[in-house]
């Protein structure tokens, strides 16, 4: 019972002490707040399947209320590849290391990774770790390289799905291209930034970045469905298939891409989780359970990247059409499109996944849950 309700009940008892206990109970029950509705979110799930997504799952928490919805061929406890949601985990670890005095985010990357960011105009001495985390480094994204795209995202994927890529190999792909801009002068999303961030964590801690994520976030929060798979091609635990066209033409054949070597994404996007764990993570992060106040302020200090949208340190802010503001990250990888967001106080959250990468817009789940916007038919 809330403190306010306890006070109201005590006052009623003082004023009408002669009434029966049952008479006192009725006003308290009548004052109970209505249970949040997630009808629009379920409608969004159904609409996404109607658009061609094989299956969708989402879970929302609003205060103590918890709701799980599915559509198509999905289970409520499905685990899935979260793609770039990994970036928030990676950034959180680096902010923790700064809070411990083991690194300064304004250190040049060259200090920690000498000779790695170099060639074709790239200069690790002019790029800071902070610029990696908020995508203002100007470093070219290795996932934009045409040859890499053909091998990893086209039909060549079927021959190369189990290939292992080291972080240095991924960075080398980027270093073969000119920078997008001079460090600190603009903004552009680059997966290379977070591969480098993972390498910095390894240099500071002496262990792979994934071990730091496990020991500092996964274990303390008891995220039992969350893992950093490394080179393991499997999705362990309950899960549905992940599907892709492996082409820009969305009318072609559909391939099962569930199994893949996630080293192609590394600290930029390799992790696996579920809707429940992702909400636990973002709620804990925004409530200050993972970072001291100073570091959390740094994380939420955003660069404006579009109307109502800002990017902090591995964390994105969105102002929705209804005026509400949410914080979190989206993620895409073969056969998987995910969203995980929460209000700034961490009280209302949503996480969900589409098991396809050619149809549907996962943003619709956010609009439905926080604005009650049902998809148009």
Residues acting as catalytic residues? 84
For residue 245 the two structure tokens come to: 């066209």
**DSSP characters over 274-298:** EHHHHHHHHHHHHTTSSS-HHHHHH
Helical H segments across 65-107, by residue range: 86-99
Whether 142 contacts 196, CB under 8 Å: no
* 115, burial (CB in 10 Å: exposed 0-12, middle 13-18, buried 19+): exposed
Which tokens in the block code for residue 290?
């993972």
Contact 286, 293 (CB under 8 A): no
| Residue pair 54/243 in contact by the 8 Å Cβ criterion | yes
Please identify which residue in the block is written with the tokens 């961490």: 346
Non-local CB neighbours of 29 within 8 Å, separated by 6+ positions: none
Residue-wise over 49-60: b if at least 16 C-beta within 10 A, else e? beeebbbbbbbb
CA distance 315 to 220: 20
Q: Are strands 272-274 and 79-81 parallel, antiparallel or unpaired?
A: antiparallel
Distance in angstroms (rounded) separating the CA atoms of residues 377 and 361 = 15
| Structural contact between residues 194 and 267, judged by C-beta atoms closer than 8 angstroms | yes
8 A C-beta contact, residue 356 and residue 335: yes
Instruction: Count CA within 13 A, CB hemisphere, residue 281.
Output: 35
């Amino acid at each position: 019972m809330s403190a306010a309700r306890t006070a109201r009940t005590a006052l009623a008892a003082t004023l009408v002490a002669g009434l029966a206990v049952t008479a006192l109970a009725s006003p308290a029950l009548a004052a109970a707040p209505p249970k949040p509705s997630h009808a629009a979110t379920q409608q969004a799930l159904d609409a996404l399947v109607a658009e061609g997504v094989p299956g969708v799952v989402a879970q929302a928490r609003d205060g103590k209320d918890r709701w799980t919805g599915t559509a198509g061929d999905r289970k409520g406890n499905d685990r899935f590849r979260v793609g770039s949601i990994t970036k928030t985990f990676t950034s959180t670890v680096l902010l923790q290391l700064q809070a411990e005095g083991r690194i300064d985010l304004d250190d040049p990357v060259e200090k920690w990774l000498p000779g790695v960011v170099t060639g074709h105009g790239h200069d690790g001495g002019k790029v800071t770790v902070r610029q990696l985390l908020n995508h203002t480094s100007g470093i070219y994204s290795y996932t934009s390289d045409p040859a890499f795209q053909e091998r990893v995202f086209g039909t060549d994927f079927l021959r190369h799905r189990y290939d292992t890529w080291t972080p240095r190999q991924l960075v080398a792909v980027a270093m073969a291209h000119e920078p997008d801009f001079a460090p600190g002068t603009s903004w552009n999303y680059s997966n290379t930034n977070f591969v480098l961030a993972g390498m910095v964590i390894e240099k500071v801690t002496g262990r792979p970045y994934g071990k730091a994520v496990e020991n500092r976030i996964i274990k303390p929060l008891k995220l039992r469905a969350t893992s950093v798979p490394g080179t393991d091609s499997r999705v362990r635990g309950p899960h549905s298939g992940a599907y892709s066209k492996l082409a820009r033409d969305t009318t072609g054949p559909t391939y099962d891409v569930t199994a893949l070597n996630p080293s192609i994404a590394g600290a930029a996007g390799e992790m696996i989780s579920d809707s429940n764990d992702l909400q636990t993570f973002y709620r804990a992060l925004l409530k200050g359970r993972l970072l001291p106040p100073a570091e959390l302020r740094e994380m939420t200090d955003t660069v404006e990247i579009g109307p109502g949208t800002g990017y902090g340190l591995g964390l994105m802010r969105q102002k929705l059409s209804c005026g509400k503001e949410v914080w979190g990250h989206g993620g895409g990888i073969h056969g998987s499109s995910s969203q995980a967001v929460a209000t700034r106080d961490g009280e209302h959250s949503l996480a969900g996944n589409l098991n396809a990468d050619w149809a549907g817009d996962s943003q619709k789940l956010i609009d439905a849950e926080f604005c009650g916007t049902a998809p148009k038919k």
